[in-house]
Structure 1
Amino acid sequence: MSLFQPVNLVCPKCEAPVIMMAVGSVNADRRPDLREDILADRFQDIECGACQERFRLQPQFNYLDVGRGQWIAAMPADRMRDHLQVEDDAALLFAESYGVKAPQAAQQVGQDLTMRVTFGWPAVREKLLIREHDLDDVIIEMMKLHILRSVPSVPLAEGVELRLVDTDEDNDAYVFCWLETASEKPIEDLNVPKALYGAILANPTGWQAMRARLENGAFVDMQKLYMGEGRKSA
């Protein structure tokens, strides 16, 4: 089931007290409306009753979609530098819920789930969008790396990330966006031909080493490649 609990917040504009129901877990099979809210960028959004300022509670919940084979530990953006510890914590929780430490019936469900860790709303939304279009999230991250090498200039900086945000069927392209992680404010859109996805998919040998690095842990995101040594290979 999807679980919520009341939390006390302070409006970032007028500092008035605000109470909202914060999510602890999302079951998208039973509550598909919550999945749609995440994709529409309105989940855990709230308006201050005193000044009408709208703001959003950072993600900190587990997401389950058995029908689409997804289990995601969605964490606040500011925890990204602790991704190795977050991965370990998520792996333990998954093992107890659907893995080797879970009841047999739950383990059978877990066999068809892909475990991921995300940081910030744009990242968790991206994982849902990728599965919506039946794409491989590792290849999407490889596309981002190719973009970094191919375009003359990029707004790459701490707190700025590149995310798949849409598809452009008319131009046979995927729409990526540079955006600010904390505010989710878009900076620049970039249309990338779908042919690039196909080219990477057709060249597994050439991308084998990079795939191994990206898949080394549940945090499948190119950003981990420039955040220290990372997790040692198994």
Structure 2
Amino acid sequence: MSLFHPVNLVCPQCEAPVTMMAVGSVNADRRPDLRDDILEDRFQDVTCEACGESFRLQPQFNYLDTGRGQWIAAMPASRLRDHLEIEDEAAALFDTSYGANAPAAARDVGSGLAVRLTFGWPAVREKLLVKQLGLEDVIVEMMKLHILRSVESVPMAEGIELRLVNTDEDSDGYVFAWLETASEKYIEYMTVPAELYKAIEGNPEGWNAIRKRLDTGHFVDMQKLYMGEGRPAE
């Protein structure tokens, strides 16, 4: 089931106290509306009754969608630099819930789940969109790396990330955006031909070294390539 609990917040605009129900876990099989809210960038929004300011509680919950084979530990973007430690914690939680240390019935469910760790709302939304489009997230991350080395200038800096945000039906391509992690404000868009995904998918040997670095553990995101040595590639 999807679990919520009350939390006390402070409005960032007027500093008035705000109470809302924060999610601890999302079961998208039973509550598909919550999945829709994440994809529409409206999940965990709250409005201050004192001044009318709207803001969003950062993600900190587990997401389950057995129908689509997804289990995600969604964490606040502020914890990104601790990704190795948090990845270990997420792996242990999954093992207890659906993995090696879970009851047999739960292990049966877990065998069909891809485990992922995300930081911030744009990242968790992207994982849901990638699955919806029938894509492989590792290849999407490699597309981003290709974009970074192919365009003349990019607005990349700490606190800014590149995410797949939509499809372009007119050009049969994928829409990527640079955005601010904290505010979720879109800075710049670009459309990438669908042929790029197919080209990377069809060249496994050429991309094997990068895939190994991206596909170590449950945090599958190109951002980890810029934060220290990380885990050894298998």
TM-score (norm 1): 0.99
Tell me which residue corresponds to 2:11. 11
| Alpha-carbon distance, 1:170 to partner | 1.1
Distance across 2 between alignment mates of 1:153 and 1:204: 27
Tell me which residue corresponds to 1:70. 70
Matches within 5 A, 1:104-115: 104-115=104-115
Tell me which residue corresponds to 1:199. 199
Tell me which residue corresponds to 1:53. 53
| Alpha-carbon distance, 1:219 to partner | 0.5
Tell me which residue corresponds to 1:27. 27
Distance across 1 between alignment mates of 2:204 and 2:112: 23
| Alpha-carbon distance, 1:232 to partner | 2.2
Tell me which residue corresponds to 1:221. 221
| Alpha-carbon distance, 1:231 to partner | 1.1
Distance across 1 between alignment mates of 2:134 and 2:29: 17
Matched residues, percent identical?
74
Distance across 1 between alignment mates of 2:233 and 2:215: 10
Q: Does 1:212 align with 2:178?
A: no
Distance across 2 between alignment mates of 1:217 and 1:91: 9
Which sections of structure 1, spanning at least 5 residues, go unmatched? none
| Alpha-carbon distance, 1:217 to partner | 1.0
Q: What one-letter code is carried by the residue in structure 1 that aligns with 2:144? A: K
C-alpha distance after superposition, 1:128-169 (max 9, x if no partner): 000000100000000000000000000010000000000001
Tell me which residue corresponds to 1:39. 39
| Alpha-carbon distance, 1:233 to partner | 3.3
Q: Displaced runs of 4+ in structure 1, greater than 6 A?
A: none
Q: What one-letter code is carried by the residue in structure 1 that aligns with 2:127? A: K
Tell me which residue corresponds to 1:178. 178
Distance across 2 between alignment mates of 1:201 and 1:43: 33
Distance across 2 between alignment mates of 1:227 and 1:178: 19
Q: What one-letter code is carried by the residue in structure 2 that aligns with 1:211? A: R
Matches within 5 A, 1:82-161: 82-161=82-161
Q: What one-letter code is carried by the residue in structure 1 that aligns with 2:12? A: P
Q: What one-letter code is carried by the residue in structure 1 that aligns with 2:101? A: K
SS at match of 1:188: strand
Distance across 2 between alignment mates of 1:177 and 1:85: 28
TM-score (norm 2): 0.99
Distance across 1 between alignment mates of 2:35 and 2:86: 23
